[in-house]
Structure 1
Amino acid sequence: MPKLIIRQTRPEDIDALVRMQREVYPGITAWHRDRVVQQIEMFPQGQLVAYYDNRLVGCASSLVIRWDEWADEHTWDEITAAGTFDTHDPAGFTLYGAEVFVAPKVRGKRVGHALYEARRRVCKALNLRRIIACGRLPGYHLLAHEMTIELYARKVLWGDLCDPVLSFQLREGFRFCGIMKNYLAQDHESQGNAALIAWVNPDYDTSRPTALQLPLSAQPELSI
């Protein structure tokens, strides 16, 4: 039986990762190799890949931020420094989900769930307060002529509509916190909108620093 493996992204994964991103998002500019290299160098613990049957089939990328600095409206380019992750801040308490994608051929194999679960383990291992992300709303373009993005999101929350991304994120235990407009202009399916979502770490210990605030020699090895 094929085996699903989640691990930290390595340099040898990058070419396949960029090719897969182009396949998943043909209408959105893919990362360049040097961007992924920089993400790994900046925050290796937050860069994850999924392998199924020895093939790369998924990716989850994240950085740490001080959420208070970004809680107002922001774009993907602003909060990720155009994908360089120069905004990564080891003094922060929030794991920010910059990207998740899964190869279409393995959808239904719970790859997305495994990547989200691995990201939650990273959050807990680093003693971070929460995970925040801005998720796509790819079903909206089909109904944009009928309703506002706010009503569309509410109908997904009520169960009247199913959005491929937001419905999945709600099942993963994330809370819907509102709409970020003009988040990613290239995302025509979402009409540039994104759903602001949050997951609060139930194991967060306010009496301890986050692992990233410790000296490098004292930081734990992550077991994903």
Structure 2
Amino acid sequence: MAHDVQVRTTLPGDIDALLALQERVYPAIDPWRRDHLVHQLKVFPQGQLVAELDGEVVGCASALVILWDEWAEEHTWQEITARGTFSTHNPDGFTLYGAEVFVDPDMRGRRIGQALYEGRRQLCRDLNLRRIIACGRLPGYQAHAPQMTAEQYAKRVLWGDLSDPVLSFQLREGFRYCGIMKDYLPQDEESCGQASLIVWINPDFDPSRPTALQPAPTS
């Protein structure tokens, strides 16, 4: 019997499950702190999503809204997320910034990642935001680092010569590759600290309207 993945907004009661799941997914990377997750839910509850299967939390997608012009130059994950607190969330922005996505490694092949990405795209549409920007891990890069730069590796993935577990998936999900963010997450040894800058443009964005997070103009 098939079971459908449900994507919904994160609730305070999900925090314990998220902390435990993140530690399993990224054993070599410092996990979130509980107070950070609480603050994420406080500043931008709509942007925090979980995937649920048979009543269990099996994935997560967290985001904030930013003024992209302030962050278009090189930045780190710690800087743009205010060390995971999302205090940099700015309702005046038009860019949904994808800060984190992770999926239970025992649930691969269940299309959980696709469901989370679609949930994030729908959020972008619902809020009338211009785009989604994220910096994705490059977990396949470590094996090739002695032979090529991260930029060369990403290009080989784009050309189809190589496959990366994250970037190849993101390209299939309709994101465009924009370049490399150096030293984005130094703890990420598989990616050698590097990340790929990617973007998805909302085809339904209406520049004549404010976003759902902005007040309507007064006459």
Q: Same fold (TM over 0.5)?
A: yes
Partner of 1:218: none
| Equivalent position SS for 1:41 | helix
Q: Aligned letter for 2:118?
A: E
Distance 1:199 1:24 in 2: 25
Partner of 2:34: 33
Distance 1:116 1:42 in 2: 21
Partner of 1:194: 195
* Pairwise CA distance, 1:214: 2.4
- What pairs up with 1:1-224 in 2 under 5 angstroms? 1-214=2-215
Partner of 1:222: none
Distance 1:178 1:119 in 2: 22
TM-score norm. by structure 2 comes to 0.97
* Pairwise CA distance, 1:3: 2.8
Distance 1:3 1:205 in 2: 32
* Pairwise CA distance, 1:102: 0.2
The count of aligned residue pairs is 215
* Pairwise CA distance, 1:146: 1.1
Distance 2:213 2:206 in 1: 14
Distance 1:197 1:4 in 2: 25
Distance 2:98 2:124 in 1: 11
Give the unaligned 5+ runs of structure 2.
none
In terms of fraction of residues, the more helix-rich structure is: 1
| Equivalent position SS for 2:186 | coil
Distance 2:92 2:178 in 1: 24
| Equivalent position SS for 2:213 | helix
Q: What RMSD in Å do the two structures reach over aligned CA positions?
A: 0.7
Distance 2:90 2:114 in 1: 26
Distance 2:106 2:126 in 1: 31
Give the unaligned 5+ runs of structure 1.
216-224
Residue-by-residue CA offset, 1:88-143 (whole Å, 9 max, x unaligned): 00000000000000000111100000000000000000000000000000000011
Residue-by-residue CA offset, 1:161-191 (whole Å, 9 max, x unaligned): 0000000000000000000000001001000
Question: Percent identity of the aligned residues?
Answer: 67
